[in-house]
Amino acid sequence: MRTPKCLFVSFLVVASVASAADLTKEEKESITKQLRSIAYAVEVGDADTPVRLMPDAIVEASGGFDKLKEVTLAAYKLLQTKGVKIETFEIGSDLDVYHGENHDFLIVRETIILKLQGKRVEIKSFVLGVRRKEGGDWRFVEGEKLTRAEIGKFFSDFPDVTLPETKRKILDEKT
């Protein structure tokens, strides 16, 4: 689901890039668990979990928790009406960590296979993770339709990095 756009003044800062080595084993496991809980929530129609795990700036710009939860539930109903089902959800092993002035950012590649209108569709995308520099929990937003400019509207310290390419491919015509 794509979150509503909001206009903010943005600027970029140069940031250092690190690898998943910046994360402890426990952090990696926690991130994987959180992302799987979001995928499961989508599958079962639970809007509370993904909204609770989104960055506060995005939740606020979307009208607040209750409004975003309502929009998310409506999106789930639309997906259900269209017969969309998640067949598989895979999280890539590469976790790219970037450091801004006020936030740490995480890019996690994902592969999702959906069943949609009698077709299997593979989506290769990413999830953007954000946490405050002083620590705290990671918050996530789906990256398939995100651009650097959109991210910069919410996080002015998002580093000058190239976002992963997103792709959709029809795998077959089977149901």
Domains and CATH numbers, the chain: 17-172 (3.10.450)
pLDDT tens digits for range 116-152:
888 999 999 999 999 999 888 999 999 998 999 999 9
Q: What is the pTM of this model?
A: 0.82
Q: What is the DSSP letter of 102?
A: S
Helix (H) or strand (E) holding 56: helix 56-61
Query: By C-alpha distance, which of 175, 143, 148, 142 is closest to 160?
Result: 148
Task: Say if CB 68 and CB 53 are below 8 A apart.
Answer: no
pLDDT tens digits for range 30-45:
999 999 999 999 889 9
Taking the C-alpha atoms of residue 169 and residue 122, their distance in angstroms, rounded to an integer, is 5
